[in-house]
Each structure stands twice: as C-alpha cells, then as structure tokens.
Amino acid sequence: MSRREGRPERVRPRPVPGSPGARRPLGRLLAVLAVLLGGLWFAPAPSARAAVPLERVVSFGANPGALEMYVYRPASLPPQPAVVVALHGCTQSAQLYADNAGLTELADRHGFLLVFAGTTSANNLSRCFNWFQATDNRRGQGEAESVRRMVAHAESAYGADPGRTFVTGLSAGGAMTAVMLAAYPDVFEAGAVVAGLPYDCARDAGPYPCMSPGSDRTPAAWAQRVREAHPSHGGPWPRVAVWHGDRDTTVAPRNADELRDQWTAVHGIGQSPDRTDTIGPNGTRREQYLDGAGRVAVEVDRVPSTGHGTPVDPGSGPENCGATGTAHFIDSICSGRWIAGFFGLTGGGEPDPGTLPAPTGLTVTGTTGSTVSLRWDAVPGATGYAVRRDGTVVARPIEAAHTDTGLSVGSRHTYTVAALDTDGTEGARSAPVTATTAGGAVCWTASNYAHVQAGRATTSGGRTYAKGSGQDMGLYNTFVTHTLKESPPGHYVVADGACP
C-alpha cells in the first residue's frame, strides 16, 4: 500500500527534496541539511518541566500524510468546545510543543480542546512538516488531508464545534498553518502563523530562498495562490495573525510582511494598518487590518529583540504561559495568550466592546434547507444588531430578528448577536446558539469502480477522483472501497469512517 493510501512505504528517512545532499552519504547529508535549515534544525533538549499528559489517537480516519494525532483535553471542558490544532517546528515533536508553548495552560483556563499533530523522520529527515511539497500542501492529499481528518475526528469523537476551529504552529509548523488556512478555508475560522511563511512560497525556487532572504511578490500574486488552493471557495476567508521576531535569522522577518500582503489581499483590504499599538511586557508592536465590518481580519505582531522561536513568558499570572528550558521557546511574551484572544477564546484579542449589554433570549425559530431564522430580546438603546455566523458578521438588522439565507443543505452553524449603539459600536455578544439546516449529506460506500459508474467519481490515468472535491481515491478497480459524502449536491468528499 502506498503512502497516499494511508501507510508509509518508505523504509528509511528521506532528505528535503532539492537539497545538495540528496545524493550524498548520510553523514554528509546531515551536515548539509543542518547548514541549509539553520535554526530550523532545532537542537533537541530535555523539557524544563513534567510532560503534559497527551492522549494518543491511533485511528482518526484516512491518514495519507502518515502523521500522528495527540489530544489535550482539559479537566473542565464545556459541551461543543472550540478546537485548536497545534503544529510543531522541525526536530520537535507534538509532546515537546505541548510541554513548552503554553497552549495547554490556556486550554485549562479557557476550556478549549487541543489537537497536536506530529510528524516523524520517516516523513522528513528533520521531522519538519512538508509545507514546501505539492504532495503535502494541497487540499485533499498528504499531510494537509491528515490534519483535516484530525479535525473531523475531534468533532465526531469529542463534540468539538465545527464553527470554532483554529490552527497555529511554529516555523515549519507555521508554514503548514498557512497551508491549512489556504487549503481548507471552509474548515478553519482563523489561524496564527509563528515564524512562518506565505502559502505556496516554495513553488518557484524551493524552500530555502523563501526562508531567507524571503520572496517578494505583489499582494495580488500572493492572494491568487491562496484562491487556487480551493478554487470553488468564495469566502468567508479565515482571519490570520502573524507572529515574528525582529531578529529572526532563520526565517527572515520579511516573511511577516509577505504573509500580511497575502492575507490582506485575500480579504480585499489594504496593506496599511488601521490600528497600531504595543502589547505585553516587552512592547510587541501590534498592527491590525480591519475588514468592511470593522473586524480584525489580519494582525501582525512584531516581537522585539527576539530570534527564531515561540515567544513565551513563564509564570503563574494570567498573562504568563510556557516554559523556556528548551531551545526555540524564547522568554519574551506569552504569544499563546494573545493568539487565543485573537481566536476569540479569551476575549483578549478583540477590541473592547461598547457599553450595551449582551442580547438575551437568542433562539432559533426555524430552519429550511438553506435558511436559519433567529430572534432575540430587544436591547434598550440599541440602534441595530450585529449577527455573527461562525464568528463572522453576516447581517446588521434593525429589528431583533433575522433570517440567514444562502446556506448549504445539512450545514451546521453557530450564531451570536451584539447590540449596536448610536456610533455603530458593538456591545457584548450574546450566548451562542447552534443550528443545522434541513436535509443533510447523503453517503455511499462502494468500490472505486462503482463510484465512477454511478457518476460520483471520475477516473484518469488508472486512478479515481471524487467529483467536485477532486480527492484522490486510489486505483480504479473493484477492490478499493471508499465512503463518499455528497454535500452540496454534486460535490463529493471522501468520508471513510466519518459519515453517518
């Protein structure tokens, strides 16, 4: 069985494609890679504190990227929690990242689920996520698809809220974060790229020029690469936070500007910040770029006097997190706290709300195959309301009711409402409600041959591809079997073990 079908066929580590050491003896290859990867070649060191207890998930569906899945579940986890996917840097591991980045402390404080994805030396000699490989950074295949399957498993096994799914990562994990946001904008509401790179940066010259000195492209050119990752997606697009040390000699700080250019252009907004301020104990410079609804669509956080790594701030206070006993976890600012705030998990990343109270009584009054109707109690003094679907403002009605339209059959969404004052400033948000449109996905389990004959898949070059999503299903024969889910009509995705 090939790696594309879920099991690695390699029996020895492979070098990064295109490196000069690809045809040299192993000892010399290691030296070459160490020079090329610079700080990405993280020197292993023992963790500074006791290991965080992680739950290994052995089976989470198809795993074409041959990755490992670990879950951190806080002792007090609310129903339908948000889920944050965390991606480690090169030579690190899921466990090392969990032990030091500070995310588990924030999950304990604020009640969200953490999924730590891990890669191995069988995938990449340096245990980097393969953000630069087309076989791993495209929708529906390789490592990107494996991470997507982890999210689906978190939703089915732990009840995670599909409307509150986020991703973050360091270095190669930061670059892979950009991959997930581009390839699966319909899955992730927001992401945070720490010391990472723009999506599809390595297409032209390979990974090393991307890292340093960095690639300079127009915002429109960068944005086009994101749109090409999922051509049928018309929005909304994920919100993106970029964290980068100003003394990073491994992944040049220029990449923070290129990431900003890429994602502001995707959102259709300018590259000049709408707001700037400083945050944290070290004066990190925060630049915020607002969308048409006044929401922070892109944020760039430039960490002063900091090299290549995850900024942490050990301690027991509310602004502290992380540990510094391991290389590339840098005592500076608890970046995880601000990232969780940007995701809307702590309230620390959004502008302070206005003075109006949160609306009460938000209720779903009806659904059809394409609509959800809502009502709530009017707020005295409100001039209107901001209705959010899955975290994004979709309407500003005057009355205390709204019908959301144009939804997919059988789709699930989370709504909140905030009152607007005379200046149009939002007050506190209501408690969320979740609604599912009528109908639902239809599933078929059959051989690849039968799927093609039924019109649910196509065949090319002896392989089978799901119609609509284009996912590679393997060889065109009667022996390979998959479950396909149709939603919306005519669009099929592989749903082995994840379809009701």
Query: Is residue 314 scored above 90 in pLDDT?
Result: yes
Give Cβ neighbours of residue 69 (< 8 Å, ≥ 6 apart). Answer: 56, 57, 60, 115, 116, 117, 118, 150, 153
Percent of the chain with pLDDT over 90: 62
C-alpha distances in angstroms, 212 versus 205, 251, 381, 432? 12, 6, 54, 44
416 falls in which pLDDT band (50, 70, 90)? confident
Query: Is residue 19 scored above 60 in pLDDT?
Result: no
Query: Is residue 1 scored above 80 in pLDDT?
Result: no
* pLDDT tens-digit series, residues 7-16: 333 333 333 4
**Residue 144 · residue 138 · CB < 8 Å:** yes
**Residue 242 · residue 191 · CB < 8 Å:** no
Which one, of 238, 270, 245, 223, lies nearest residue 168 by Cα?
238
Query: Is residue 349 scored above 60 in pLDDT?
Result: no
The mean pLDDT value for 174-181 works out to: 98
406 falls in which pLDDT band (50, 70, 90)? confident
125 falls in which pLDDT band (50, 70, 90)? very high
As a whole number of angstroms, the distance between CA 259 and CA 301 comes to 12
305 is catalytic: no
Which carries the bigger pLDDT value, residue 384 or residue 32?
A: 384
The mean pLDDT value for 235-252 works out to: 95
In this prediction the pTM is 0.65
The mean pLDDT value for 336-365 works out to: 80
Q: Which of 333-337, 426-430, 474-478 has the highest mean pLDDT?
A: 333-337
Q: In angstroms, how far is CA 29 from the centroid of its own chain?
A: 32
Query: What is the SS3 assignment for the chain?
Result: CCHHHCCCCCCCCCCCCCCHHHHCCHHHHHHHHHHHHHHHCCCCCCCCCCCCCCEEECCCCCCCCCCEEEEECCCCCCCCCCEEEEECCCCCCHHHHHHHCCHHHHHHHHCCEEEEEECCCCCCCCCCCCCCCCCCCCCCCHHHHHHHHHHHHHHHHHCCCCCCEEEEEECHHHHHHHHHHHHCCCCCCEEEEECCCCCCHHHCCCHHHHHCCCCCCCHHHHHHHHHHHCCCCCCCCCEEEEEEECCCCCCCCHHHHHHHHHHHHHHCCCCCCCEEEEECCCCEEEEEEECCCCCEEEEEEEECCCCCCEEEECCCCCCCECCCCCCCEEECCCHHHHHHHHCCCCCCCCCCCCCCCCCCCCEEEEECCCCEEEECCCCCCCCEEEEEECCEEEECCCCCEEEECCCCCCCEEEEEEEEECCCCCEEEECCCEEEECCCCCEEEEEEHHHHHHCCCEEEECCEEEECECCCEEEECCCCCEEEEEECCCCCEEECCCCCC
The mean pLDDT value for 474-479 works out to: 88
As a whole number of angstroms, the distance between CA 140 and CA 457 comes to 14
As a whole number of angstroms, the distance between CA 119 and CA 16 comes to 14
Which one, of 385, 421, 420, 423, lies nearest residue 404 by Cα?
385
pLDDT of residue 204: 84
pLDDT of residue 273: 92
* pLDDT tens-digit series, residues 200-226: 999 988 899 999 999 999 999 999 999
As a whole number of angstroms, the distance between CA 464 and CA 462 comes to 7
Query: Is residue 499 scored above 80 in pLDDT?
Result: no
pLDDT of residue 49: 62
116 falls in which pLDDT band (50, 70, 90)? very high
The mean pLDDT value for 169-194 works out to: 98
The mean pLDDT value for 185-197 works out to: 97
Which of the following is catalytic: 171, 332, 411, 469? 171
Q: In angstroms, how far is CA 63 from the centroid of its own chain?
A: 18
Query: Is residue 352 scored above 80 in pLDDT?
Result: no
Percent of the chain with pLDDT over 70: 87
Indicate the range of 45-49, 56-60, 163-167, 336-340 predicted with least confidence: 45-49
Which carries the bigger pLDDT value, residue 374 or residue 479?
A: 374
347 falls in which pLDDT band (50, 70, 90)? low
Q: How many other β-carbons are positioned within 10 Å of the β-carbon of residue 235?
A: 11
Query: Is residue 391 scored above 80 in pLDDT?
Result: no
Which carries the bigger pLDDT value, residue 294 or residue 320?
A: 320
Which one, of 177, 179, 89, lies nearest residue 135 by Cα?
179
* pLDDT tens-digit series, residues 25-75: 443 344 334 333 434 444 444 434 679 999 999 999 999 999 999 999 998
In the chain the domains, ranked by start, together with CATH numbers, are 3-342 (3.40.50.1820), 363-436 (2.60.40.10), 442-494 (no CATH)
Is-cis flag, bond preceding 79, omega within 30? no
Give Cβ neighbours of residue 138 (< 8 Å, ≥ 6 apart). Answer: 144, 183, 229
